[in-house]
Amino acid sequence: MDVLIRPTAGAAVKVAAALIDETLRRKPEAVLGLATGRTMEALYAELVRRHREEGLDFSRAGSFNLDEYVGLSGENVNSYRYYMNFHLFDHVNIDKRRTRVPDGMTADEAEEGARYEEEIRLAGGIDLQLLGIGRDGHVGFNEPLSSLASRTRSVSLTPETMAQNQPLFDRPEEMPRRALTMGVGTILEARRLLMLVTGEEKAEILAAAVEGPVSAMVSASALQLHPDAVVVADEAAAARLKTAGYCRWMFENDPRWARFRAL
């Protein structure tokens, strides 16, 4: 795993955006795995800026989002489909027919999970999967105890996740208690993983995910099993890493990261 530590959240976002930019320029028809959450808002703003000012082209790209709330339609402002349109899709030249989010209104959640998996397979798999991390260590909505081999399915959210995301709802009691999410096994099949983590409230869980044991208790720890996983963190989120000194040295000296140093 490569852990890239940048001084500020803004600088971390720039590196993450540059990695996505590089993927699209190398392979314009790339299939991106996308994530939601507060952390990603600045990243999508930077991708929109690169589209407008630097010609970053999404016209041949496709996407699959990690997750969606059960019971919310795409018109609901709290749905992840709405979030994606609002923060990214409405502002870049992506063909919306190639943007996929699990269907939160499905009548058959198990069937929707299987259908989503099949759609990913038919699209040729995911080239770059973007990930955030929940305070309980989840990626997507893979709450503690999610099997490291899990596939797209519906899950019950933990009280911690309910508390974390309820402030985003106008009426907190309207937050669904379940969600459809790609499984940890689904995520691990992406060709590259890119996790963006900012803020001191993520410091403890990031250390557990990156340096702790691989465990279903912290689904983000599954990144340790992936041959090409990149974590971009700001100093605040990296504060509890025992390996922070090594990671900073690696970023400054490894030629693979040379073009990202000046960002």
Residues in contact with ligand GLP by CB under 6 A are 35-39, 66-67, 132-134, 140-141, 161, 165
Using CA atoms, how far apart are residues 70 and 82, in angstroms rounded to an integer? 14
Is 103 annotated in the active site?
Answer: no
Closest CA to 180 of 220, 153, 214, 213: 153
CA dist 171 and 174 (Å) reads 6
Which entry of 46, 109, 112, 136 is annotated as an active-site residue? Answer: 136
Q: Which of 68, 112, 127, 143 is catalytic?
A: 143
CB of 51 to ligand GLP, least distance (A): 22
Rounded least distance, CB 175 to ligand GLP, Å: 11
Nearer to ligand GLP, 144 or 250 (CB): 144
DSSP 111: H
**Nearest approach, Cβ of 131 to ligand GLP (angstroms)?**
7
Question: Which amino acid, 84?
Answer: M
Q: What is the largest CA-CA distance in the chain?
A: 53
Quote the least distance from Cβ 66 to ligand GLP, whole Å: 5
Residue 7 · residue 251 · CB < 8 Å: no
Is residue 158 within 8 Å of 144, Cβ to Cβ? yes
In sequence order, the 6+-apart residues with CB closer than 8 A to the CB of 84 are 34, 36, 63, 65, 99, 101
Residue 237 to residue 209: CA distance in whole angstroms: 12
Among candidate residues 109, 112, 138, 235, the one labeled active-site is: 138
Q: Would you call 136 a catalytic residue per the annotation?
A: yes
Catalytic residue flag (residue 67): yes
**CB of 132 vs ligand GLP, minimal distance in Å:** 3
Considering the candidates 46, 67, 112, 234, report the single residue annotated as catalytic.
Answer: 67
Task: List the one residue out of 199, 185, 262 whose CA is nearest residue 232.
Answer: 199
User: Would you say 113 or 140 has its CB closer to ligand GLP?
Assistant: 140
The single-letter code of the amino acid at 222 is: A
- Radius of gyration from C-alpha coordinates of the chain: 17
57 is catalytic: no
> Both tokens of residue 169?
């709802």
Residue type, 120: I
Q: Which residues are identified as catalytic?
A: 67, 136, 138, 143
